[in-house]
Amino acid sequence: MSHSSPKTLFEKVWTDHLVKDETAATPAILYIDLHLIHEVTTPQAFALLREKGIAVRRPDLTLGTMDHSTPTTAFRSFKDLAVVSEGAANQIRQMQKNCDDFGLELHGFDSEFRGIVHIIGPELGATQPGKTIVCGDSHTSTHGAFGALAFGIGTTEVGHVLATQCLLQRKPRTLAINVSGQLQLGVTAKDVILAIIGQIGVDGGTAHVIEFRGDAIQAMDMEARMTVCNMSIEAGARAGMIAPDDQTIEYLSGRPRSPRGADWDAAVDRWRALPGDAEAVFDRSVDVDGTALQPMVTFGTNPGMVIPVNDPVPDANGNPGFRKALDYMQISPGKPLSDVALDVVFIGSCTNSRLSDLQQAAEILRGRKIAEGVRMLVVPGSQQVKRAAEKIGLDKVFKQAGAEWRESGCSMCIGMNGDTVPSGKLSVSTSNRNFEGRQGIGARTILASPMTAAASAIAGHVCDPRPYLEGQ
């Protein structure tokens, strides 16, 4: 170990992966420990490999799944899959062929581990502290919850990693976000990250890697930490990270791809040394008072347009972009969102589709019915989550409340597989993007936590979940 200057968590992981350091003239060459791939952002990269006759350098460090354009309706075999379009079907076939031809592990339709790429990495124990992890998907930041440096890349870079297991990168800056204190009952990781984005803005993290710190973060379980890191990209950040601790190690113990025996002990020693040095300095830091946070909901067309659940929608104050967003959402300023009737509730996505998310929603829905006229879709993040939820009867809770219980996938988060919100309809969604048309052409999206989404489904409008928690 060199006695160099104190380092942050990010700097430790970065330095540990430098094949070649950056200079003024050239970027760093960064080695990648885990490359996650899915069907939407890889076909053009594989086409390039074929064209140039290049093999995948490290098939053992590459892991594939199908999630974006896959149907979430039940099926028995690949043949009777109700794939939404010929394009999507072709993409799915192509993914299968690419993984076969290049010898890559793929969790396709025959795998009990299939699921959203950012759900299955941690579930399989492939996501580990201190690794560099990339995927052609911006929510790769999710894996930073384990103290990995994980970020999204474009398809050209997917090709670079397939061919060389490396990326050309400039060193990002560091941003510490300290969330202090204890969260109130009914305030979840989703509310924390929405509040942070509201505070620093959708470009507040641009060019930075965020490290989330503080009591409120440390008190979170791994699934909640993943929710926080997942939406780092919604603040424009390159990545989000949380220092590994006992919970991280406990979560990884015994997973299929976790190290075993002496390797496990060595890995744990290495992981314990990853948290940032006490004297390490960040380029910027932001403090958030966790005790003051409320359940949060978005009201506009980006995740930074966010308010506490019972607050009135703010005024546009002559800002044309703001007014355009309110027009699109058909929401009037000065009134709380509970005034607007909703049509669809979606519980799912890589932000909030793990077992604890489903449990939180189910606790509120147990013994209750969703409002008349509301369609509610519950889509577990992976087949493993689905089985775990069914084992404790959550599927029944959802179905009895009037919701649909589906196979895993991205589903209504992105609407690529046919699960869409109809034009003009209002949706409360536990996903991560409320962009115009994200959930379907003309769809209007309000982002919220699983608890808020469940409470809203019952009420038929945006609703504070806290009254439902009393007496629990």
Partner 1 sequence: MDAVAQLRSRTIVLPMVDIDTDQIIPARFLTTTSKDGLGRHLFAYWRFNADGSDNPDFVLNTPGSTGCQVLVAGNNFGCGSSREHAPWALLDYGIRAIISTAIADIFRSNSLKNGLLPIVVDEETHAWLIENPGAEVVIDVAASTLTLPDGRAVNYPIDSFARHCLLEGIDQLAYLQQHDEQIRNFEETRSWTP
Residue 170: which of ligand SF4, partner 1, none does it interact with, CB under 5 to 8 A by kind? partner 1
- Does position 107 interact with ligand SF4 (CB under 6 A)? The reply is no
Cβ contacts of 325 within 8 Å, gap of 6 or more: 300, 301, 302, 305
The nearest distance, CB 383 to partner 1, in angstroms, is: 22
Q: The dihedral of CA 120, 126, 128, 130: what is its sign? A: negative
The nearest distance, CB 390 to partner 1, in angstroms, is: 29
Closest of 292, 257, 31, 24 to residue 146, by C-alpha: 257
Q: What is the per-residue DSSP string for 381-440?
A: SBHHHHHHHHHTTHHHHHHHHT-EE--SSSGGGTT-SS--PPTT-EEEESSS---TTTTS
The nearest distance, CB 297 to partner 1, in angstroms, is: 19
Among residues 196, 267, 307, 414, the one that binds ligand SF4 under rule CB under 6 A: 414
Sheet with 239-241, side-by-side order of all strands: 239-241, 208-213, 173-180, 284-289
Question: Which 347-366 residues touch ligand SF4, going by CB under 6 A?
Answer: 349-350
Q: Judged by CB, which is closer to ligand SF4: 67, or 419?
A: 67
Cβ contacts of 433 within 8 Å, gap of 6 or more: 234, 303, 413, 445, 447
The nearest distance, CB 203 to partner 1, in angstroms, is: 4
- Does position 203 interact with partner 1 (CB under 8 A)? The reply is yes
Residue range at the interface with ligand SF4 (CB under 6 A); choices 261-269, 388-396, 406-414, 462-470: 406-414
Residue 350: which of partner 1, ligand SF4, none does it interact with, CB under 5 to 8 A by kind? ligand SF4
CA–CA gap between residue 207 and residue 172 (Å, rounded): 6
- Does position 118 interact with partner 1 (CB under 8 A)? The reply is no
Which is it for strands 404-405 and 375-378: parallel, antiparallel or unpaired? Answer: parallel
Among residues 56, 63, 88, 350, the one that binds partner 1 under rule CB under 8 A: 88
Q: Judged by CB, which is closer to ligand SF4: 72, or 98?
A: 72
Q: Would you give the binding string for partner 1 spanning residues 422-451, x where CB under 8 A is met?
A: -x---------x-xxxx--xx---------
- Does position 143 interact with ligand SF4 (CB under 6 A)? The reply is no
- Does position 196 interact with partner 1 (CB under 8 A)? The reply is no
Q: Say if CB 376 and CB 343 are below 8 A apart.
A: no
CA–CA gap between residue 142 and residue 138 (Å, rounded): 9
Closest of 271, 236, 284, 286 to residue 12, by C-alpha: 271
* Residue 333: strand pairing partners: none
- Does position 39 interact with ligand SF4 (CB under 6 A)? The reply is no
- Does position 116 interact with ligand SF4 (CB under 6 A)? The reply is yes
Say how many CA atoms lie within 13 Å of 63 toward its Cβ.
25
Residue range at the interface with partner 1 (CB under 8 A); choices 2-10, 155-163, 189-197, 277-285: 155-163
Residue 336: which of partner 1, ligand SF4, none does it interact with, CB under 5 to 8 A by kind? none
Residue 442: which of partner 1, ligand SF4, none does it interact with, CB under 5 to 8 A by kind? partner 1
Instruction: Give the count of beta carbons closer than 10 Å to the beta carbon of residue 246.
Output: 8
Q: Please count the helices (runs of H) and the strands (runs of E) in the chain.
A: 16, 19
Q: The dihedral of CA 122, 291, 431, 230: what is its sign? A: negative
Question: Which 287-346 residues touch partner 1, going by CB under 8 A?
Answer: 302, 304, 320-321, 324
Q: Say if CB 43 and CB 95 are below 8 A apart.
A: yes
Instruction: Supply the DSSP symbol for 374.
Output: -
- Does position 85 interact with partner 1 (CB under 8 A)? The reply is yes
Q: Judged by CB, which is closer to partner 1: 141, or 430?
A: 141
Q: Judged by CB, which is closer to partner 1: 268, or 469?
A: 268
Q: Would you give the binding string for partner 1 spanning residues 62-81, x where CB under 8 A is met?
A: ------xx------------
Residue 236: which of ligand SF4, partner 1, none does it interact with, CB under 5 to 8 A by kind? partner 1
Residue ranges binding ligand SF4 (CB under 6 A): 67-68, 116, 118, 137, 139, 349-350, 410, 413-414, 431-432
